[in-house]
């Protein structure tokens, strides 16, 4: 794989920038803010996501239609998303339109006006989005499992909020949230595209020179602690029974997170030869949907297993899953097994990096969280350096079903 080369610089106001030049007519630009749903106050549930929607609804020089049309008119795409720890605006466009994208990002992030009429309309849109999740138990169970694991901590609250919380927002609450967390030293601009570096630097310097001050967000974000395993069963009007099980795991900066990703991939990654897929689906035909997920945050992480099945197979699926967990805790991977697992993960990471949009989002998030980007070579060395004894230790720390929480949606 060709060695990666990134250009980095920091604006006088603290905004960090990173660019990778690629020989492609299509460019990707992202604006990242270190502010997400976990940074909301109790009465602000869903506000970070609400802001992600309403920054497109008008600026000091553009109405909502003109904001939305600015990239669409030249065949580009403009989008945004909110997680528990970040808010991201991103665009895809032909490289010749970089100046248009950079100027638009400045306009919507720093000069949105939040018209009252537009705010009211968007509330209904977001409540409809919330209802769409309520109609999809296979999606809703992930948010509900977070709430079960993280209990009353802000990490346990879903990003969308509730209808009541969304309808309570107004321009004042939006601006208070922005003032508290949207600070230039907590912002990153990431770019992957074909453009001269000096030309891109000039564009960004001209558009992002505002000084918004420093942020106390780092000290304000409290760390999660006090996890206690929990079990909850609910009756739902579903055809399927849905199950989530899992345990808290390592934070994004932990030395063992790479090993945890490898174990998660072995158990229930996208490969059809993942152990849970082979056991539950191929050998026994108990389930169609089976997957594992490992989410990392600045202070903690969450490993989870999701299954959908007919209720009559629920106990069998749990027992077989526990069996696979015990195997990883009690029996270290052999030399050939470990080599194959590493090669599979290396291939998946490499294929993922072939997508320029995914790479732009990845490097932006990496700068935001760690203030660094690991090259493909560095990532490969970390994966290749994992040992069977390390994975055995990790499995015993995280994959003990006695420490798991369980959430079950049973069909009525």
Q: What is the CATH number of the domain that holds 112?
A: 3.30.830.10
| pLDDT of amino acid 320 | 97
Number of domains in the chain: 2
Task: Check whether residue 304 and residue 159 sit in a common domain.
Answer: no
Task: Check whether residue 314 and residue 197 sit in a common domain.
Answer: no
Q: Is 154 domain-assigned?
A: yes
Q: Is 220 domain-assigned?
A: no
Q: Write down which residue in 151, 182, 215 finishes a domain.
A: 215
Quote the domain boundaries for residue 238: 231-411
Q: Is 225 domain-assigned?
A: no
Closest CA to 317 of 275, 268, 284, 362: 284
Q: Which residues of 124-154 are buried (b: 16+ CB within 10 A; e: fewer)?
A: eebbeebeeeeeebeebbbebbbbbbbeebb
Q: Give the position of tokens 């989008």.
A: 79
Task: Check whether residue 87 and residue 199 sit in a common domain.
Answer: yes
Q: Reduced to 3 states, what is the DSSP secondary structure of residue 161?
A: coil
The confidence band for 219, taking pLDDT boundaries of 50, 70 and 90, is: very low
The confidence band for 216, taking pLDDT boundaries of 50, 70 and 90, is: low
Task: Check whether residue 202 and residue 268 sit in a common domain.
Answer: no
Task: Check whether residue 298 and residue 158 sit in a common domain.
Answer: no
The yes-or-no verdict on residue 220 having pLDDT over 80 is no
Read off the pLDDT of residues 259-315 as tens digits, 9 standing for 90 and up: 999 999 999 999 899 999 999 999 999 999 999 999 999 999 999 999 999 999 999
Q: Is 223 domain-assigned?
A: no
Using an 8 Å Cβ cutoff, are 302 and 295 in contact?
yes
Report the distance separating Cα 73 and Cα 104, nearest Å: 13
Task: Check whether residue 72 and residue 184 sit in a common domain.
Answer: yes
């Amino acid at each position: 794989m060709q060695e990666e080369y990134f250009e980095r610089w920091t604006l006088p106001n603290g905004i960090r920038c990173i660019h990778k030049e690629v020989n492609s007519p299509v460019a990707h630009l992202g604006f990242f803010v270190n502010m997400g749903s976990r940074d909301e106050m109790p009465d602000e549930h869903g506000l970070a996501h609400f802001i992600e929607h309403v920054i497109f609804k008008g600026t000091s020089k553009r109405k909502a239609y003109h904001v939305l049309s600015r990239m669409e008119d030249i065949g580009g795409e403009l989008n945004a998303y909110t997680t528990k720890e970040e808010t991201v605006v991103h665009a895809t466009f032909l490289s010749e339109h970089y100046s248009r994208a950079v100027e638009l990002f400045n306009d919507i992030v720093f000069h949105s006006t939040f018209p009252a009429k537009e705010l009211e309309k968007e509330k209904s849109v977001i409540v409809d989005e919330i209802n769409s999740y309520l109609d999809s138990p296979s999606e809703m169970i992930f948010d509900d499992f977070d709430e079960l694991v993280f209990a009353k901590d802000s990490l346990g609250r879903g990003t969308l909020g509730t209808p009541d919380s969304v309808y309570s927002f107004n321009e004042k609450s939006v601006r208070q949230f922005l003032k508290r967390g949207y600070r230039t030293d907590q912002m990153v601009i990431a770019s992957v595209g074909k453009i001269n570096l000096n030309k891109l630097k000039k564009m960004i310097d001209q558009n992002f020179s505002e000084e918004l001050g420093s942020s106390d967000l780092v000290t304000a974000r409290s760390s999660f602690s006090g996890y206690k395993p929990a079990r909850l069963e609910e009756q739902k009007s579903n055809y399927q029974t849905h199950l989530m099980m899992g345990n808290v795991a390592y934070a994004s900066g932990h030395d063992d997170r790479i090993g945890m990703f490898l174990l998660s991939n072995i158990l229930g990654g996208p490969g059809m030869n993942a152990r849970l897929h082979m056991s539950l689906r191929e050998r026994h035909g108990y389930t169609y949907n089976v997957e594992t997920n490992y989410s990392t945050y600045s202070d903690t992480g969450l490993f989870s297993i999701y299954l959908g099945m007919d209720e009559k197979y629920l106990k069998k699926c749990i027992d077989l899953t526990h069996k696979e967990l015990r195997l990883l805790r009690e029996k270290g991977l052999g030399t050939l097994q470990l080599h194959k697992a590493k090669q599979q993960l290396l291939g998946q990471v490499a294929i993922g990096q072939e997508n320029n949009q995914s790479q732009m989002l990845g490097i932006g998030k990496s700068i935001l969280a760690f203030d660094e980007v690991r090259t493909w070579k560095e990532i490969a060395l970390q994966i290749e350096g994992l040992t069977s004894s390390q994975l055995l230790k990790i499995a015993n720390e995280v994959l003990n079903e006695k420490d798991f929480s369980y959430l079950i949606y049973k069909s009525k």
